[in-house]
Amino acid sequence: MERLDVYRVRLLSVCLVAVMVLGGTHAKADYVFGEPTNLGSSINSPYNEEVMAMPADGLSVFFVSNRPGGYGHYDIWVAKRQSTEDPWGEPENLGPTINSAYPEFYVSISPDGLTLYYSDGPPYWAHRPGGLGKGDIWVTRRASVADSWTKPVNLGGAVNSTDGDLCPSISADGLILVFTRDYSYRQPELWLATRKRTSDPWDTPLKLADVNSGWDYAGSISGDGHTLFWFRGGAVDDNYMATRAATHEDFGNLVKLPYPVNTDSLDGMPYISPDGSVFYLVSDRPGGFGGHDLWQVSIDPVVDFNADGTVDKTEMGIMVDHWGEDYSLCDIGPVPWGDGVVDVQDLIVLAKHLLPVFLAHWELDETEGHVAYDSIGGHDGTLNGNPLWRPAGGKVNGALLLDGIDDYVSADFAWNTWKMIISATAWIKGGAPGQVIISQADGSGYGASWLYADSSGGKLTTKLMDPQPALVSESMITDGAWHHIGLVWDGSFRHLYVDGAEVARDAATLSYTTPCDGGLYWGVGKNLDAGSFFSGMIDDVRIYNKALTPEEIAALVQ
């Protein structure tokens, strides 16, 4: 199923070192960082965007910027979206109740979006009146997300001091507050305060002696309070993390986060999303909109447990074998680091990778009978004519031999391809010009040959997205050797692959496609025409409802 691309495989060896130490007494899940992406022009500007936080629903993002339109210096802004799949809307300034002529420089928000903590800048800046020292932490509240924020209140002497106190980060339960104390101008350290109930005052803060090294800034606590991220200054400004098994323990296991979280550019002000699946940071790396920009990096659990390049029923079996155990390989939920036990949380994460992407997989490893079983989606195929099973003759274990006369397989796999992206792959050996490997029947629309050999030279061709003209490659596939063939429709381009390499692609030239929701055939064209029956072996037919990357296609050939 879903394969680790080359980029992520390079990261894995580095990231595994970090995750092996996560969680104190519990070994946690392996994970990889995805490719960093800029939050885009609706959030970022030619000015500096410095810090961000969001409620648990992910529908609003609060961030700090010195862009025009504010009340002076740095202000707190908010952008909203209708769903987590929608783009961010135009940011709005939180207004004069929160923002002032002085800098509002850091922000942290409760999961329900009703309590906002912020600070008024480092000690070498001017600060709003009413504070206790060279920078203070403030809190404001609202009754609901539709209500206005109340006048900010200084957090008081339990947390704030005569030094600079800034960069608050609140845990999900509101009982842990991590902040930065800069007591000597540009020599910040991380501190932590706790309380037993949200109605209680904060206890006396403690300096995180096991974390600090002399320039540690902008700590960000995970929702459960077990993981701490922060920004360490030095020759290169980078992001670090430390962990603990329980909130009453000290942080340990310090790890400098790997590339691409850290680069040769400034990378700091870390923040992890409420669900733990996305790492956010501030960076001036290339590709931004100017100044400091906000970037995001996905944190993805490694779900390919047996490292065979696919996620399928084998992973499900491995998880079941270790159900209820503290088994780090399968402890992938909640994302990204698990919880120390293999349970339904891990099954939920695995299912997200298993079912929505890998729609069908006909391994064709049967030894007898008239059914080609789909090991993923339950779309079993029916053998027509008299195809022969070849248990030891396939490219991947067994294969199915078709005679080119009346043999083919039909599967009740209705899918309206004109509305969806799709990838289809298979191994083949043999065939002749004009013969079809995979096609889709008309159903209530008009079917098409997804993968076939063109009639003139036996070159891999597709007619998917009819009435788009056929896309013909230059790669002959009917030479009697085993070939891995693939088709990807990503919504804009059709791609053809042979033996792991892209051999043809074209852009959609029509503004419409013909609806098609018929079942699948392999080994014959959609109309069962005599010249379309395939003569040779077919093995390992796969259908995905995602556009496989070139790296994922190449990995299938290994």
Residues 343 and 369 in one domain: no
The total of structural domains in the chain comes to: 3
Residues 126 and 175 in one domain: yes
Q: Is 15 a domain residue?
A: no
Residues 271 and 414 in one domain: no
- Residue 285 scores a pLDDT above 60: yes
Domain with residue 268: its CATH number is 2.120.10.30
The string of pLDDT tens digits covering residues 346-376 is 887 887 676 446 678 899 999 999 999 988 7
Residues 257 and 339 in one domain: no
What is the predicted pLDDT for the residue at 414?
Answer: 60
Lowest pLDDT segment from 67-76, 176-185, 228-237, 346-355: 346-355
Residues 348 and 366 in one domain: no
**Positive or negative: CA dihedral 224, 35, 556, 515:** positive
Mean pLDDT of 451-460: 96
Domain with residue 502: its CATH number is 2.60.120.200
For residue 487, the enclosing domain spans 359-557
What is the predicted pLDDT for the residue at 24?
Answer: 32
Residues 73 and 200 in one domain: yes
Q: Is 138 a domain residue?
A: yes
Q: Is 494 a domain residue?
A: yes
Give whole-number Cα distances, 188 to 257, 267, 274, 350, 478, in Å. Answer: 20, 17, 26, 41, 68
In eight-state DSSP terms, residue 374 is B
Q: Which of 258, 276, 300 is the last residue of a domain?
A: 300
What is the predicted pLDDT for the residue at 44?
Answer: 94
Residues 65 and 198 in one domain: yes
Q: Is 114 a domain residue?
A: yes
Residues 213 and 250 in one domain: yes
Q: Are 460 and 496 in contact (CB under 8 A)?
A: yes
- Residue 383 scores a pLDDT above 90: yes
Residues 140 and 218 in one domain: yes
Mean pLDDT of 497-520: 80
Q: State the DSSP H helix or E strand holding residue 351, giving kind and residue range, or none if neither.
A: helix 344-354
Mean pLDDT of 99-119: 93
Q: Is 26 a domain residue?
A: no
Mean pLDDT of 419-423: 75
Q: Is 545 a domain residue?
A: yes
Lowest pLDDT segment from 47-56, 182-191, 379-388: 182-191
Higher pLDDT, 12 or 315: 315
Residues 425 and 536 in one domain: yes
Residues 243 and 124 in one domain: yes
Q: Is 377 a domain residue?
A: yes
Query: Exposed/middle/buried for 543, CB within 10 Å: 0-12, 13-18, 19+?
Result: buried
Helix axes 6-19, 550-557, angle to 10 degrees: 90
Q: Which of 336, 354, 372 is the last residue of a domain?
A: 354
Residues 293 and 329 in one domain: no
- Residue 9 scores a pLDDT above 50: no
Q: Is 228 a domain residue?
A: yes
Collapsing DSSP to helix, strand or coil, 346 comes out as helix
